[in-house]
Amino acid sequence: MSTPERVVVVGFGPVAARLVEDLLPAVAAGTLALTVLGAESRAAYNRVLVAEVAVGRTAAGAIALADADELRRAGVDVRLGATVRRVDRSRRRVLLDDGAPVPYDRLVFATGARPILPTLRGLDFAPHAEPRLPEGVAALRDLDDADLLRRVVADGGRAVILGGGVLGVEAALLVQEHGAQAVLVHHGRHPLPRHVDDDAGRLLAHRLCAAGVQLVSEARAVAVQRESDRFAALELADGALVPGDLLVLSVGVRARDELAAGCGLATGNGIHVDGRLRADTEDRVFAIGDCAAVDGARPSGLIGPGWAQAEWLAAYLTRHRTPPVPAPGPADTLPAVPPSASPESVDPLPAASLPAEPPGAILLKARGLDFTSGGDVSPGLWDTDAGGRRVSIWADPQRGAYCKMVTEDGALTGFVALGLPRTAAELVLLYERGRELPADRTTLFRLEDPVAAPAAEPGPDEVLCRCSGATHGQVATARETGCTTVEEVGRACRAGTGCGGCRDRIEAVLRAAAREPVGV
Ligand SMILES: Cc1cc2nc3c(=O)[nH]c(=O)nc-3n(C[C@H](O)[C@H](O)[C@H](O)COP(=O)(O)OP(=O)(O)OC[C@H]3O[C@@H](n4cnc5c(N)ncnc54)[C@H](O)[C@@H]3O)c2cc1C
């Protein structure tokens, strides 16, 4: 048997976890020697759900995506609390923070993203040092941050959330729902400025206030004020103070690409990779997930595309061995790289799936506030310079419902829907497939009445879980093979294992099966 190829994965987040899981058969077969190096002290967990852990809706253990001991028993070299400080491509090895070298034949960056830290007085970091937030300030990216927020929520305290984007709004609603006070400080007249027009924004703001969230709008934060070295208040440009027990920073994320930049790879808004996820020209270095800029596009910041990339790369690494070493050099001091033995040198895999074009719709993870949006909703109803785009609006503010649709040649190019869950689900499908809207738009709103418009049976190939890509057909098969809970379905076909937004639909499939007469 030939020497196993050494694959080293830097980072152990959700995307690396999927790659590792899919490479296990090759490890078992002895063709790959797999090492995964994670800076966090825990094995991968579902980061999408850290806010749910923070408010006590779920436990940290319940969002685990990997078990380090189990992986070690399966032959994977798992190292936790291991931060890679440098990559030495000429010698094909990475160096850990304690200086230990880890050699590789192939290297995968899965270093994800880090929160952007705003420029505020009181948040001053030493140049070139890993930034350390003061006590009482968190970024809600990992389980340690969740722990800080959990204490404030358990005490019914006051969390000041800076940033009115999707994660900020979701966090504010969760905090409020679980008995603490959320104060959302944001630029602009209303939260989610990139996803709403003015009317939807006003209705959204109204719904947030009705849920108890305090909004501080059109605010520019300038400083963090501390008392006894702990966060005490956020200072705004007009001198106003927003006091609280915890400041949650939610102003965006940035790809962690500095390690790749440091070893000479092309970076800038992520590690530049081609359609085959290659960061170099030698087919040795790859990047996936939140750190990867595929074919010049920014990382999507979503778990679904990262999982699709991990799945693709696992298949690629399993089928393709590294090419022979091209020229003698320092790398020759390392054990020889196995030759490119495979007759499949001509890649039988299509290029890795690129981020959806147009960018996918966003669905807010918030109970009781059905907010969905996609594309550009900026054109106004009466705009004459909207470049051929047409706008339809339907609103019922008393019921908390609003919908705006922007079309070009009949096809949906942008929409925002609030308080209209069934209409929104249909609009997501039409938007992501670039389909034409019905000429009579009011038919879409009739979908809200399940009696008048029973939902059409989805086809087996229709995607049910946007994160994992699992289809209705796969969920039906899981059900037919005996799965009776969402968790069992998740283990069978991965549906429902990402953001959890499809759990209701999986439950509906399971309930419908339970009602079916036996023996028919
Ligand atoms: C609160 C919150 C809510 C979210 N909600 C959604 C949602 O609803 N839907 C959705 O699709 N996505 C959502 N996301 C985004 C989703 O979590 C990310 O897309 C996903 O985590 C990306 O996975 P990743 O493995 O690429 O990177 P990450 O999850 O960032 O993991 C990267 C890992 O690599 C480690 N690492 C970095 N550098 C090094 C190094 N030098 N050495 C060793 N280890 C290193 C990091 O410590 C980290 O553990 C949410 C994220 C957050 C924080």
Domains parsed from the chain with CATH numbers: 5-114+254-345 (3.50.50.60), 137-251 (3.50.50.60), 362-446 (3.30.390.30), 457-520 (1.10.10.1100)
pLDDT top residue among 21 and 502: 21
Q: How confident is the model at residue 346 (pLDDT cuts 50, 70, 90)?
A: very low
Which of 48, 145, 277, 288 should be mutated for ligand 1, with most atoms under 8 A from CB?
Answer: 48
Triad 341, 343, 347: Cα angle to 5°: 110
Compute CA distances 125 → 133, 330, 498, whole Å.
8, 38, 34
pLDDT of residue 7: 98
Q: Whose CA is nearest to atom 35 of ligand 1?
A: 11
Is the shortest distance between the CB of 234 and ligand 1 below 6 Å? Answer: no
3-class state of residue 16 by DSSP: helix
Given a cut of 60, is residue 343 above it in pLDDT? no
CA of 115 to the centre of ligand 1 (A): 10
pLDDT of residue 231: 96
Given a cut of 50, is residue 340 above it in pLDDT? no
Q: How far apart are CA 148 and CA 136, in angstroms?
A: 8
Which amino acid is it at 204? L
CA of 11 to the centre of ligand 1 (A): 9
Instruction: Report the atom number in ligand 1 closest to the C-alpha of 17.
Output: 25
3-class state of residue 93 by DSSP: strand
CA of 510 to the centre of ligand 1 (A): 31
CA of 203 to the centre of ligand 1 (A): 31
Mean pLDDT, range 85-100, rounded to an integer: 97
CA of 447 to the centre of ligand 1 (A): 36
pLDDT of residue 329: 45
Is the shortest distance between the CB of 306 and ligand 1 below 6 Å? Answer: yes
Percent composition of the chain: helix, strand, coil (DSSP 3-state, to 5) = 30, 25, 45
Instruction: Report the atom number in ligand 1 closest to the C-alpha of 300.
Output: 19
Mean pLDDT, range 389-416, rounded to an integer: 92
- The verdict on pTM exceeding 0.85 is yes
Q: How far apart are CA 102 and CA 35, in angstroms?
A: 9
Instruction: Report the atom number in ligand 1 closest to the C-alpha of 50.
Output: 1
CA of 114 to the centre of ligand 1 (A): 8
Q: Whose CA is nearest to atom 37 of ligand 1?
A: 111
DSSP-H helix ranges across 332-485: 421-433, 442-446, 472-480
Is the shortest distance between the CB of 469 and ligand 1 below 6 Å? Answer: no
Given a cut of 90, is residue 160 above it in pLDDT? yes
Is the shortest distance between the CB of 10 and ligand 1 below 6 Å? Answer: yes
Is the shortest distance between the CB of 284 and ligand 1 below 6 Å? Answer: no
pLDDT in tens, 165-198: 999 999 999 999 999 999 999 999 999 999 999 9
H or E stretch covering 235: strand 230-236
CA of 113 to the centre of ligand 1 (A): 6
Is the shortest distance between the CB of 302 and ligand 1 below 6 Å? Answer: yes
Given a cut of 90, is residue 332 above it in pLDDT? no
Q: Whose CA is nearest to atom 15 of ligand 1?
A: 302
Q: Between β-strands 221-227 and 285-287, what pairing exists: parallel, antiparallel or unpaired?
A: unpaired
H or E stretch covering 406: strand 401-408
Q: How far apart are CA 176 and CA 159, in angstroms?
A: 9
CA of 44 to the centre of ligand 1 (A): 9
Contacts made by residues 339-345, CB under 8 angstroms, sequence distance 24+: 341/2, 344/319, 344/320, 345/320
- Cis preceding-peptide flag for 358 (omega within 30 of 0): yes
Which amino acid is it at 320? H
Q: Between β-strands 137-138 and 246-249, what pairing exists: parallel, antiparallel or unpaired?
A: parallel
Task: Tell me the chain's radius of gyration from C-alpha atoms.
Answer: 25
Q: Whose CA is nearest to atom 41 of ligand 1?
A: 84
H or E stretch covering 248: strand 246-249
Given a cut of 50, is residue 520 above it in pLDDT? no
Beta bridge partners of 231: 226
